[in-house]
Amino acid sequence: MAIIRWLLGRLILLFDALFSPRAPKRAPEQQAQLDEQTKPLALYQYAACPFCVKVRRAMKRQGLNIALVDAKQAEHKQLLQQQGGKVQVPCLRIEDAGETRWLYESGEIIQFLQQRYA
């Protein structure tokens, strides 16, 4: 079972690399401004999780350079569990006006990013 899961993960990564979406072309100052706006965000994720790949592809399509956090690492996993409430990826950490929100569910994360950075 573990081998099948590993193989599926590699296939997902291969597909993602071969058919990688294109980021929109922006002027460097425009991109820098957007990067500044997305600084308070971090995506807790696993490299080969299909739901995480879906969110990363949506981010790429929008040209959002959001920090990626490997939730397999013990310290990150612990923080996700403690502050987010459960170990499930993808999860978007949003620092907003001194408060931290944890947004689960790939569909909701994509919708949030589209609404905020359309």
Asked if 79 is part of the footprint of ligand GSH (rule: CB under 6 A), the reply reads no
Q: Give the binding range for ligand GSH (CB under 6 A) out of 1-9, 12-20, 21-29, 105-113.
A: 105-113
Edge-to-edge strands, sheet with 99-104: 67-70, 41-45, 91-96, 99-104
CB of 63 or CB of 90, closer to ligand GSH: 90
Tokens (6 digits) for 96: 């907003």
- Minimum distance from CB of 27 to ligand GSH (Å)? 33
Q: Provide the terminal-to-terminal Cα distance of the chain, rounded to the nearest Å.
A: 40
> Would you say 46 and 70 are in contact if contact means Cβ atoms under 8 Å apart?
yes
Binding ligand GSH (rule: CB under 6 A), the pick from 80, 89, 92, 113 is 89
Residue ranges that bind ligand GSH, judged by CB under 6 A: 49, 51, 87-90, 105-107
